[in-house]
Structure formats: C-alpha cells, structure tokens
C-alpha cells in the first residue's frame, strides 16, 4: 500500500520518478520564455507595420509637399534620409524576420521547458546581440551624422535628442535582453531543469 500514489497527496519528485530539480525549475525560464514570445510577436508586428508604411510613403510625401513650403522642405529631408536607409533595407527586413522567428521558437520551447530551448535561445540571443551591435554601430557612425547633415538647423535640439534616443533605444534594449538571457539561461540549474 505504501508504494501506491494517493490521488489526494501532492506529487513528489520521487513518486513521479523525476529529479527534484525538474519539478522546481527556476522561474526565469518561464519569464524569459514569455518575454521572448511577447517581444518577438511585437517585432513581427512592427515589421509588417513598417513594410505597410513603406508602401504608402511616397503618397504621404507628395501630400506633404502640397501643404506648403515648410512641408516641402520636410518631405525633401525625409527623402534624403530614406536614401541613407535604402541600401540596408533588404538585410534589415531579412534579419528582423529571422531573429524574431528564432526568438519566438526559443520562447515557445522555453515555456515548454524543452532541452532544445537552450540551443535555440543561445543562437537567437547571440545573433540578436551581434546584429544589434552592428545596427548600433551603423546608427552611430552613419545614420546620426547623416541626420545632422540633412536636418541641420531645421530641427530643434530637443527633437534631435528625442529622435536619436528613440533610434538607439531599440538596439540597446535588444543587446541588454539578449546578453542577459544568455547569462541567465546558461547556468547549471537551468540546464538541468530542461527536459
């Protein structure tokens, strides 16, 4: 009778034939998994939204130009800045699609506590850190100086600071999240709790 499992007693690791570590997985696995799913879904949504904006961009600029001299100058500046971004557009679209898909797969696997989750997550996080490091360097070395050249004195200092901060925030946050996830998920207790 002592070998039977009572339906009224809380399950134990020994009764289930599992290591106690498997039943007590660190909560960071689920938190990082959930963040991966949410952030990668948001990234895919923003990618689709951005592609939609690109298809209507020229029509919006023509409408701006019809609203007077100030808007014509602004439309010209936007076109010049678009030319800075245009050469990297295919690479940015492809990398965004791949990185968000990898992050989504890693998040789902982490939520299911699958052992393959660690490999997918490591690949995704390392690629995210490297890709966003390149983007950050490109922004600092090319885009921001070009913005200063294009906009010159036509933009207020506050607007310039806000635009720059918003532009740099994405890559910086991705690097922090990817690096933090790499550190938190590659600890022995986490590895042992994945099935």
Sorted by where each begins, the domain ranges of the chain are 26-193
Return per-residue pLDDT of the chain as tens, 195 residues.
455 666 676 555 555 555 554 456 678 889 999 999 999 999 999 999 988 888 888 888 888 888 888 888 888 888 888 888 888 889 999 999 999 999 999 999 999 988 899 999 999 999 999 999 999 999 999 998 988 888 887 777 788 888 888 889 999 999 999 999 999 999 888 888 877
Residue 153 CA to residue 71 CA, distance in Å, equals 15
Closest CA to 77 of 11, 166, 155, 184: 155
């Amino acid at each position: 009778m002592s070998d039977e499992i009572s339906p009224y007693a809380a399950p134990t690791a020994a009764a289930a034939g599992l290591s106690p570590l498997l039943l007590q997985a660190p909560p960071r696995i689920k938190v990082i998994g959930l963040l991966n799913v949410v952030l990668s879904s948001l990234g895919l949504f923003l990618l689709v939204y951005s592609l939609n904006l690109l298809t209507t961009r020229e029509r919006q600029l023509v409408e701006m130009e019809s609203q007077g001299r100030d808007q014509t100058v602004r439309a010209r500046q936007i076109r010049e800045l678009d030319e800075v971004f245009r050469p990297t557009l295919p690479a940015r679209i492809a990398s965004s699609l791949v990185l968000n898909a990898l992050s989504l797969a890693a998040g789902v696997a982490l939520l299911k506590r699958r052992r393959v989750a660690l490999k997918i997550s490591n690949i995704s996080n390392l690629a995210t850190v490297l890709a966003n490091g390149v983007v950050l360097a490109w922004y600092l070395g090319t885009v921001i100086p070009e913005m200063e050249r294009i906009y010159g004195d036509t933009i207020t200092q506050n607007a310039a600071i806000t635009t720059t901060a918003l532009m740099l925030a994405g890559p910086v946050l991705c690097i922090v999240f990817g690096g933090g996830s790499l550190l938190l998920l590659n600890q022995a207790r986490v590895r042992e709790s994945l099935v």
